[in-house]
Amino acid sequence: MQRIMRKAMLGVVAVLFALSAADTKPTSATYVSNDDIRATVKRAPENGVADQQIRVADLGKYNVGVGVVHRSAKATQGAIEHDQLTEVYHILEGSGTLVTGGTLANPRRLAPTSKVVTELNGPSVGGSALEKGESRRVGPGDVVIIPPGVGHWFSAIDGSIDYLVVRVDGDKVLSPK
């Protein structure tokens, strides 16, 4: 697990470095420790879904959020697409089938005051599933980049899955914390 966490952190650092090179130079770095990630995963309900933001860094022209998501196969999984954010998933533990693209089934715009919109993903549309999307098996070490407007959901989870999520927020819809 520590080796996976170390790789996840290196991935986050690489994304932040690449993004900062294209913008004005920040004056300091944002650090998310392995202990922060582990503590966040431990707070997740064992048989539920928990999307927990750890940090949001203001990097000038954009913000970058780092969080951890835990999903249990016992919980209902919904589909979602975000209007403005790119998400990068790095699977830490567990496996499942991630569906991307296609069309949201039963789409509904999330309330602008919901935690998902204000703290995690910005304006988004949720649905019960994705129709005609591309299915992929994902597991530890895999990385998936999901651009704005691309629906995504886990159609199957083998027990549970934990993944680091890096949110690239070019429109600064998330508040730094």
Give domain status of residue 176, yes or no: no
Check whether 25 has a pLDDT greater than 80.
Answer: no
Torsion of CA 87, 172, 176, 81, to 10 degrees: -30
DSSP letter at 146 equals: E
Give domain status of residue 10, yes or no: yes
Q: State residue 15's pLDDT score.
A: 55
Give domain status of residue 174, yes or no: no
Give domain status of residue 44, yes or no: yes
Answer yes or no: are the C-beta atoms of 64 and 142 closer than 8 Å.
no
Q: Structural domain of residue 90, as residue ranges?
A: 2-169
Answer yes or no: are the C-beta atoms of 67 and 165 closer than 8 Å.
yes
* pLDDT range class, residue 146, cuts 50, 70, 90: very high
| Domains held by the chain: number | 1
Cite the beta strand spans of 32-151 per DSSP E.
49-58, 63-72, 79-82, 86-100, 103-105, 108-109, 124-127, 129-131, 134-138, 143-146
Distance in angstroms (rounded) separating the CA atoms of residues 156 and 173: 30
pTM for the whole thing? 0.85
Indicate which CATH number applies to the domain containing 38: 2.60.120.10
Distance in angstroms (rounded) separating the CA atoms of residues 94 and 121: 23
Average pLDDT value over all residues in the chain? 90
Q: State residue 17's pLDDT score.
A: 52
Straight-line distance from the first to the last Cα atom of the chain, in angstroms, rounded to the nearest whole number:
26
